[in-house]
Structure 1
Amino acid sequence: MKILYVTDVEGNWDYFLRFIQTVQTSPHTLNALTFTDASHTRLVLQRGYQFVFGGDVGDKGVVNTDRLIRVLLALKHDYPDRVVLIAGNRDVNKMRWTSEFTDVEMDLKTMDP
């Protein structure tokens, strides 16, 4: 089984798309991971491949972090035995927020930019 690995995307959707394009065009991984449509909401993982996301899904690209999370979770849902999602240090640090911040502090909509 071949392994496709990407990490530290940090919400950079363009970086993630370049990774997918590289997988699609490399002779070693030709079309091993492709989007199902132009809206880029769901991926297809070909047989014989595993996908590992090494963590740090979002930090810098706030706008696209939610989109990236949805795509990764859908991929894990569709291929539970062949997709591994690892929480990176930035991901784990954000998980602490729910126990350290008040509800008002957690509601980012009320915070000034």
Structure 2
Amino acid sequence: MTGVVVDSPLSRLGCSFATLVGLTIGVPLSTGRVRVVGDLIVCRGLPRWAFKRGGTCIGRVYLTRDNDGPRVLRHEAVHVTQWRKYGMLMPLLYFLAGSDPLTNRFEIEAGLEEGGYR
């Protein structure tokens, strides 16, 4: 599966599509400045119903109200790498990994402390 679906041009295309979805949600709802931090596009000032916990990453877009400190952005940058690797499989794989961030392999890989889970 690696090289065809995972970590492939197809997965990167899926990440690009997800990024467009994230921008479609984030830009109109953002009341803060939309900025680029490395590979991450940060949409700030969103209503709380637009994401779970402190924010969410869709493709390269991080949607949050005000949870955008340097540590969290490093955490979210790892999620961007995960989106590039798995593409549109990412939502399904994340769901299957479970809603508890302490046991979710994607959150663990991104760093529980950096993400504010510890």
Q: In terms of Rg, which structure is larger?
A: 1
Greater strand content: 1
TM-score normalised to structure 1 length:
0.28
Greater helix content: 2
